[in-house]
Amino acid sequence: MLSNDELEANNRRFSAAFTGGRLDSPPARKLVVLTCMDARIDPLRMLGLRDGDAHILRNAGGRASDDAIRSIVISQQLLGTRHVLVIHHTECGLFNVTNDELRQRFAGTLGPGVARMDFLPLGPDVRESVRVEVQDLRRHPLLAADTRVQGYMYDVSTGRITAVD
């Protein structure tokens, strides 16, 4: 675990060379990337993007959860984004598990409050999980009518993305 001193020293180095203060708030590419929180994924680098190009939304599994939808709506309505990429990845910890399995696994640590939690687990097929998320977003009534939604699978062992129809 990083200490506060390490984090602050890292930030001092970062801020010494920081030039992002001149970036506009709306993403330059009008793009939203919805992907997993997995630490092996660096959305900007893997897509050849730079700071200021896109909004990056991350959660466990890269799911179009209520909060992800909320963020996409705000991104579209206040900042003009119109393109959404959904990127799921190989070796995701939410594949091939159920809510019941996760609830049982966490109950000993978290107690009974976890009994009603929906962890939004994914099915056994990465491509199918992307298809479902893309279709749900395309049909969502709060997303702008001209929103382009595309899906990809990211391979954590090769760094490659593959389009999912």
Mean pLDDT of 161-165: 95
What is the set of domains in the chain, with CATH numbers? 24-164 (3.40.1050.10)
Torsion angles phi and psi, residue 85, rounded to 5:
-105, 130
- Round to the nearest angstrom and report the end-to-end CA distance of the chain: 40
What is the model's pTM? Answer: 0.93
Tens-place pLDDT, residues 6-50: 999 999 999 999 998 999 999 999 999 999 999 999 999 999 999
On the CB side of 157, how many CA atoms lie within 13 Å of its CA? 3
Give 62's strand partners.
none
Tens-place pLDDT, residues 42-95: 999 999 999 999 999 999 999 999 999 999 999 999 999 999 999 999 999 999
